[in-house]
A and B are shown apart, each in its own frame.
Chain A
Amino acid sequence: MGRERLFNLAVILALLAVPLLALALDEPFVITLATKVAILALAGVGLNIALGLGGLVSLGHAAFFGIGGYAMGILAAHAQNYEPLFSWPFLFEGSNQMPLIWLVAVLASAAAALVIGALSLRTSGVYFIMITLAFGQMLYYFAISWSAYGGEDGLSIWVRNEMPGLNTLIPIQFFGVCFALLCGALLFSARLAGSGFGLALSAARQTEERVETVGLQPFKLRLVAFVISGAITGLAGALFADLNRFVSPTMLSWHTSGEIMIFVILGGVGRLYGPVVGAAVYILLEHLLGGISEYWQIFLGLLLLGMVLFARGGLIGALLGREVAHD
């Protein structure tokens, strides 16, 4: 246990140190990269609650990522164009304040997760994978044809949204915001895993009938986990959209779902810091391999394949060995 804690500490410190170093060396783009890692890791932390803790193989988490992104895009677009979003029951002109945008992103993606989860969790196994995939695609096609908000073109926001007391246009400050949220989510995720809910959820993944015989509802446990998971991924979506100052249906596509899942698995399913390691390694690979060959995705594919076949437990698993029972 000590080893993994130490490792986790090192990972999070490294994620903090790299942009600070980049700041000193005047390399703003490295800060942007680190911000991307923090945001994608946050999305992965969200998925990991469903996937790692709850054993729910959702191939539709892009839906929540995208809803978070669109929450930001829609609110900010209205604010920037001074077009009221609605005028009843009160006049609301959208917003460019991050805290409000985050709240809307979290609520909207949680609501979507509640509906999608309530339908999908009636099934399990492969059905669940395919149904979450299909719901994701449904939203994807909807977003493409939703011309009011740019359809396939997406929505561009000219200026990054504001955070009280900070200037988010300065890369390192925006990184700080994302990093703080990631730390918050990691903390939350750790507490959740150790809580009564986490214990029951984890048990439901291992042995559903046991959970039922002690008088707990696996369906309810999973639904709550799915909603929490979707909400965190949605928050990450809002940040990702703000990082790019842009949101488009691509955020909803099933490749995005696959990528978020890759972050989690690359790092190690169910490992608290798995998504952080996974996202960091993925972004590094993308930039290193992408520079070497147009066909870099072949190598990414081979690497993933090797990972699944020979290094189960992800990178952390390969480095630290089997997970020890929680104490």
Chain B
Amino acid sequence: MTDTSLSPPMQPVLRVEHLSKSFGALKASNDVSLDLYPGEIHALIGPNGAGKSTLIKQISGGLQPDMGRIELLGHDVTALDTVARARMGLGRTFQISSLAMEFSVLQNAVLGALGACGKSLGFFRNVMKDKALLEVAEEALSRVGLLQAAQQRTADLSHGQRRQLEVAVALTLKPRLFLMDEPMAGLGASGSKELTGFLDQLRYEAPILLVEHDMDAVFALADRISVLVYGAVIATGTADEIRNHPEVRRAYLGEEDET
């Protein structure tokens, strides 16, 4: 995880090649290729309905592509399911919070630690008294600043806190890469700023494929940006390259300005 060399000619952590997925006549993913290298944040942007969610689902394993191939840490994982990919080190956060709402904040974090520890699940021992798991969970919570809310019921959390917990659960997995689906959504200016700073550091722990609507955050964070329109990647490049890309300006940024 602690790769220190950051120069590109190393192996990508994630490589997506020629991915296609159709629903009837709709091409949700159209020959998509992208990759993610250690230490970088690769942002994926695109207007609503561009096929970002479909792409994320295929990468995380919830949806089988019609064509193409997905490689994780050098292994072909196209045929593997979500669980197998998670075990290989894919840490995902969800756009719409998919936390266990009846649980306490700590329980959600422990669940992540439990999944990541790889041991078989106990049937008798109280999992909330397992020191090793609690340590992992509490560390993750403290990193996102939620430790003081550990005993709160998740359903009672504010929207921003839930986003933080999402990230914390992903942290407990100690993943080899993060797949983050709009972590800033609905956070507000100060929350966004805080998270941006956090992700900026997190990239050195594991690279991040970041799907995000918040353009300020994207341009501040991303080493590279890919633009998805109608299921196809129309451009990939640095922030400046994308900002000045004529097709992107026409297809995407123009629209974004209106909102």
Contacts and interface: CB of A to CB of B under 8 A. Distances in A.
Given A209-B98, A210-B100, A215-B83, A196 B130 contact: yes
Contacts of B121: 195-197, 200, 216
A209 B118 CA distance: 18
Contact of A199 (B60, B110, B116, B169): B110
B212 to A, nearest CB: 19
Given A207-B100, A209-B82, A326-B107, A216 B123 contact: no
A19 to B, nearest CB: 30
Contacts of B112: 214
A213 B86 contact: yes
Nearest to B170: A213
Contacts of B169: 210, 214
B256 interface: no
A314 B239 CA distance: 57
Interface in B97-145: 98-104, 107, 110-112, 114-116, 118, 121-128, 130, 133
Contacts of A211: 111, 115
A213 B104 contact: no
B102 A202 contact: yes
A18 B15 CA distance: 68
Contacts of B62: 209, 212
Contact of B99 (A194, A199, A207): A207
Contacts of B91: 213
Nearest to B126: A194
Interface string A192-229: 10111111101100110111111111000000000000
A100 to B, nearest CB: 24
A255 interface: no
Contacts of A196: 114, 121-122, 125, 127, 130, 133
B interface, by DSSP: helix, strand, loop or mixed?
mixed
Interface string B143-155: 0000000010110
A5 interface: no
A198 B127 contact: yes
Nearest to A217: B83
B94 A199 contact: no
B104 A325 contact: yes
B124 A191 contact: yes
A327 interface: yes
B87 interface: yes
A199 B228 CA distance: 38
Contacts of A202: 100, 102-103
Nearest to B155: A325
A200 B123 CA distance: 11
Contacts of B123: 191-192, 195, 197
Nearest to B104: A325
B92 interface: yes
B218 interface: no
B173 interface: yes
Contacts of B115: 200, 211, 214-216
Given A196-B127, A215-B83, 16 more contacts: A192-B123, A195-B123, A195-B127, A196-B114, A196-B130, A196-B133, A197-B122, A206-B102, A207-B101, A212-B61, A214-B169, A214-B172, A215-B173, A216-B121, A324-B153, A326-B107
